Amino acid sequence: MNVLVIGLTGGIGSGKTEVSNRFAQHGVPVIDTDQLARELVEPGQPALLEIVTAFGPDCLDERGQLRRDQLRERVFADPSGRRRLEAILHPRIRTLLQARIANITAPYCVAVIPLLIETGMIDLVDRILVVDVSEAEQIRRVLARDGITETQAHRILAAQTQRQERLACADDILENGADFSRLHQQVAALHERYLALASIKAS
């Protein structure tokens, strides 16, 4: 397996989706672990059965789909529930991510892993790209996008790896405090760099 794997991470609302979409526009395969988590809890999946066994049938809606928002709220207030949910999901996300990486034929891919540092998936990636913005800007963008309260935004931020800790793990940092054109310029530069690194890795 010679594909170069870039682990893309950053706090809530830092711009991971915008950055990964831009890499995709350069033709780079993107694997989004949030999407993998969604696939893993579709009706009929073993992880869903385990979640229902652990958290009760109330976590399903009338169509048998997981009430993701409700469960997220619930485990936020309950650290042991949170650990139980992570114990069900994280190993499966890891296995699925490895399988998706193994199928890639491009020189490099971007794996979007919001909790890259927290979940110990660092060993699956060759480089860590952190999208960074100030916490004030993070809160502003999340409030504008999600319509949540400022208290909720602060609570989510508090539960995530601290910004400095994340930056300390970074091989590359995309500073996303400016506009979209600056974001696009930085992705273009990183793309050239990753192609060069991928060709070294493959040789």
Q: List binding-site positions.
A: 13-18
Given 17, 45, 70, 119, the residue binding ligand ATP (CB under 6 A): 17
Of the residues 62, 69, 123, 179, which one makes contact with ligand ATP according to CB under 6 A: 179
CB 131 within 8 A of CB 153: no
CB of 107 to ligand ATP, least distance (A): 24
- For position 137 contacting ligand ATP by CB under 6 A, the verdict is no
Annotated binding site for ATP: 13-18
**Per-residue tokens: 199:** 């060709």
CA distances from 184 to 144, 151, 165, 179 (A): 21, 31, 25, 9
CB 128 within 8 A of CB 194: no
Nearer of residues 186 and 198 to ligand ATP, judged by Cβ = 186
Among 13, 47, 153, 163, binds ligand ATP (CB under 6 A): 13
Among 183, 187, 190, 198, binds ligand ATP (CB under 6 A): 183
| Residues in Cβ contact with 21 at an 8 Å cutoff, skipping those fewer than 6 apart | 30
31 to 70: interface string for ligand ATP, x by CB under 6 A: ----------------------------------------
According to CB under 6 A, which residues from 97 to 116 bind ligand ATP? Answer: 114
Q: Which stretch binds ligand ATP (CB under 6 A): 9-17, 75-83, 88-96, 192-200?
A: 9-17
Q: Yes or no: say if 106 and 27 are a contact pair by the CB < 8 Å rule.
A: yes
Packed helices 68-76 and 79-102: angle between N→C axes, nearest 10 degrees: 130
Per-residue burial over 107-140, b = 16 or more CB atoms within 10 Å of its CB, e = otherwise: bbbbbbbbbbbbbebeebbebbbbbbbeeebbbe
Answer yes or no whether residue 10 interacts with ligand ATP by CB under 6 A: yes
Residue 191 is a binding residue for ligand ATP (CB under 6 A): no
Here the tokens at position 50 are 């385990």
Interface residue list for ligand ATP (CB under 6 A): 10, 12-18, 114, 141, 145, 176, 179-180, 183
